[in-house]
Structure 1
Amino acid sequence: MGAVKTRRMPRAVREQQMLDAAVRIFGQRGYTAASMDDIAELAGVSKPLVYLYLNSKEDLFLAVIRREAAALTEAVRAGVRPDQPADRRLWHGLLAFFEHTARHPDAWSVLHLQARTHGEPFAGEAAAMRAAIVTFVTQLIAVAARDAHRDPDLPDHEVAGLAEALVGAAESLAAWANTADGIGARQAAGTLMNFAWAGLGSLMAGRRWSPPGE
């Protein structure tokens, strides 16, 4: 393979170009099977330039995890408007999560599958992202639960347990939705919102929670 000719551009732009290519290769092929040659070719740069900018395959993978974790966390936070009722806040947080993971399936594969299964420091970065999201969801559930029950003393461990369960369900549902035909972000968010907000008993009785505008 001949040397890849590159045109001059700012380092920050070129580095993001490399990370974009790395997300796609790592997400679709997995960390072990991904090669720096393939990443360089997809990015349109030489392999020595990838090493010059990002040092090693391990450092490149870590940079990908950190960038995509920050993007997902910010997307969820940005989706929630504090001035809305509690159910709408939770709905928009879930919707933002599923929309982001649907738009970036390779990034979600990196965060949900690859980072967690290849040891440290990768697993630690994925765990930190998850902890940040769980903390945010805990706050949403605490507000919703305490408003609903008018109980300022609702046990923290109950709220924390609900947040862990909800985030875990969202992770699994996103992985499924990204591989199932015809399952969009809104449907995935609605399914989980109904399970979490309306409850299984209400669903079985035909009492569903409806998203805004429906």
Structure 2
Amino acid sequence: MIDAAVQVFSRSGYHTSSVEEIAEAAGISKPMVYIYLGSKEGVFTACIHREADRLVRALREAVRPYDPPELGLWQGLGTFFRFVADNRDSWKVLYQQARTQGEPFSKEIAEARRRVMDEITALVVAGTELPGGERIIAQRDAEILARMAAGAADALTEWLLENPEETPESLSERVMNLALAGVERFHTGDIQQP
């Protein structure tokens, strides 16, 4: 039922989609949708929760604890971009549709975005720590870098979908090279802290 709802919402948007369309796409009766999820609002909220769970799970599974930190960060970005490329309907619902709906979904989408941000922050913080525990950049700077990476990833998803010649892997490599070049310059003192 959620798969069908994600497809319907991504195609038609929240306001023009109906519970009847969702039930028809799922191959169930309209009353069954109401029994399980209560309302169209309940269906949309369930979509937000499930798609955020899928993205967070994909990010966690991408990083193996025995990998070097920078590889984990690269794999995390690649996973994010691959998720978007492979789950366009999910992305439309989770980020495009949900963001524009306001209440009652703003709390749900804020929580989903916080969970994804926490995963990306953990990747960046781990990716800027050397094997002995020494940090390439301060923890706070790593957190800022995580926000930059998440914002770039968010902004670059549309670009990725509009440029099919670019793969999630090649885009990850570009982002990592640009980010790491800046981190390296900061670490070597070429860029001074204010």
User: SS of the counterpart of 2:162?
Assistant: coil
Alignment correspondent of 1:89: 72
Question: Residue 79 of structure 1 is aligned with which of 52, 59, 62?
Answer: 62
The yes-or-no answer on 1:104 pairing with 2:90 is no
Hey, what does 1:50 align to over in structure 2? 33
**Structure 1-normalised TM-score?**
0.77
Counterpart of 2:166 in structure 1 is: 183
Aligned amino acid, residue 168 of structure 2: A
Query: Which segment drifts farther, 49-58 or 114-123?
Result: 114-123
Structure label with greater radius of gyration: 1
1:161 aligns with 2:144: yes
Match of 1:19 in 2: 2
Structure 1 residue 75, shift from structure 2 partner: 0.3
CA contact (8 A) 2:48 2:108 kept: yes
Question: Match for residue 68 of structure 1?
Answer: 51
Residue 133 of structure 1 corresponds to 116
1:37 partner letter: E
d(CA) in 1 for partners of 2:33, 2:88: 23
Q: Give the Cα separation in 2 of the matches to 1:144 and 1:21.
A: 38
Cα offset for 1:106?
0.6
Residue 124 of structure 1: how far off its partner (Å)? 2.0
| Superimposed CA distance per residue, residues 176-212 of structure 1 (whole angstroms, 9 cap, x where no aligned partner) | 212333232222222222222234999xxxxxxxxxx
Structure 1: distance between partners of 2:168 and 2:138: 32
Structure 1's 159 and 95: CA in aligned 2 closer, same or farther, altered over 3 A? Answer: same
Q: Distance in 2 between matches of 1:134 and 1:188?
A: 19
Please give the alpha-carbon distance, in whole angstroms, between the structure 1 residues aligned to 2:144 and 2:183: 17
SS in 2 for 1:82: coil
- Whole-Å separation in 2 of the counterparts to 1:153 and 1:106: 38
Contact 2:59–2:79 (8 Å) recurs in 1: yes
Structure 1 pair 141–191 and aligned structure 2 pair: CA distance change class (3 A): same
Give the letter aligned to residue 167 of structure 2: G
Instruction: Determine the C-alpha separation between the residues in 1 that align with 2:37 and 2:115.
Output: 26
**Shift of the alpha carbon at 1:25?**
0.9
Q: Are the counterparts in 1 of residues 52 and 116 from structure 2 also a CA contact under 8 Å?
A: no
Q: Quote the sequence identity (%).
A: 40
CA distance, structure 2, for counterparts of residue 52 and residue 179 of structure 1: 39
Q: Tell me what 1:193 maps to.
A: 176
Deviation at 1:147, TM superposition (A): 2.0
State the alpha-carbon separation in 1 of the partners of residues 126 and 165 from structure 2.
33
Q: CA deviation at 1:117?
A: 1.5
In structure 2, which of residues 104, 107, 117 is the aligned counterpart of residue 124 of structure 1? 107
